[in-house]
Amino acid sequence: MRVLVTGSAGFVGSHVVEALEEAGHDVAGLDLRNGEDVRDGAVLDRMLPGVEAVVHQAAKVGLGVDVADLPDYTSVNAYGTAVLLAAMARHGVSRLVLASSMVVYGEGAYDCPRHGRVRPGPRVAGDLARGLFEPRCPRCGSPMASATIGEDASLDPRNAYATTKLTQEHLAANWARETGGTAVALRYHNVYGPKMPRGTPYSGVAAIFRSALEAGRAPRVFEDGGQRRDFVHVRDVARANLAALSGGAAGALAAYNVASGEPHTVGEMAAALAAERGGPDPVVTGDYRLGDVRHIVASPGRAAEDLGFRARIAFAEGVKEFAGAPLA
């Protein structure tokens, strides 16, 4: 199959290209690093003829710094996806695999001892400043236990990146309905691994920790380090994209969690990386970002059932490799 990968030189995109080529696909890459902008219809008109599927990885990532980032997130993620989908319609490309994200959920799932499964609202800045990080039941205020979240959960984006990733899903669903195309949205959980970008305010937490350790600094862990996440290795994510090429149904968007099924805390990731590199040990700061959520743990069952995708790289194995792997 002839496949166009947008963001092909990026962290996830470069691994996706490798996986597709190893599987025998004919891959074309589009990346801003090569002067090719997904927002440029002329570039797309040059590259899309003969393409049978698009794997859309190009995006501005991370939570960002403040509201000044809103125009860039909207331009790259929302407008760029709209331009791509319009070009796909012009050229009769009928299959899309979209890199979405767990951030579309907002907070994860929680169980209240009195009210069962509930979804808390955004955490209050005053609580966070006092070190009260755990959400409480929105109905009775009781402490809750975090639970795995499935794809049918209500969506509640809480920062610019999250909002534009959900916008991408909505646009892809519009395109699929109007063209009869097939769209599969892969909701990546916390992706890490070789070629991850160095730590910046737009990087994932694993890259921030890894960059600090490489510079001889202690990883700075926000809140109390107890935030639960699902860290999934980038080569597993690439395999999920490969599997998604044959998934979905015409005229609709199907969404899947892409996760390891093996949750760990942010503090555990920092400690594991520090141990592999011989220190320094992490420092728990109590700092917080208002756009962050407390716990988000995936249910990976639907991807296993529908796409045949199961993560293969265990946390200990992946962290051991990542601790010494080159960063981009």
- pLDDT of 217-248, one tens digit each? 999 999 999 999 999 999 999 999 999 999 99
Average of pLDDT values for 186-210? Answer: 89
Q: Are strands 252-258 and 220-221 parallel, antiparallel or unpaired?
A: unpaired
Average pLDDT, the chain: 95
CATH code, domain with 314:
3.40.50.720
The verdict on pTM exceeding 0.85 is: yes
- In percent, the amount of the chain with pLDDT more than 70 equals 98
Query: What is the domain extent for residue 69?
Result: 2-324
Question: What is the model's pLDDT at position 291?
Answer: 80
Does residue 63 register a pLDDT over 80? no
Strand order in the sheet with 252-258: 26-30, 2-6, 53-56, 95-101, 182-188, 252-258
Neighbours of 280 (CB within 10 A): 13
* H or E stretch at 241: helix 234-244
Supply angle C-alpha 191, 174, 19, rounded to 5: 35
Average of pLDDT values for 171-191? Answer: 98
Tokens of 281: 């040990």
Question: How does DSSP assign 125-192, residue by residue?
Answer: HHHHHTT--S-B-TTT--B-EEEEE-TTSPP---SHHHHHHHHHHHHHHHHHHHH--EEEEEEE-EEE
- pLDDT of 45-61, one tens digit each? 999 999 999 999 999 98
Overall domain count for the chain? 1
Does residue 202 register a pLDDT over 70? no
Signed CA dihedral, 120, 126, 131, 132: sign only: negative
Does residue 258 register a pLDDT over 80? yes
Question: What is the model's pLDDT at position 151?
Answer: 97
Phi, psi of 220 (to 5 degrees): -100, 115
Question: Rg of the chain's alpha carbons, rounded to an integer?
Answer: 19
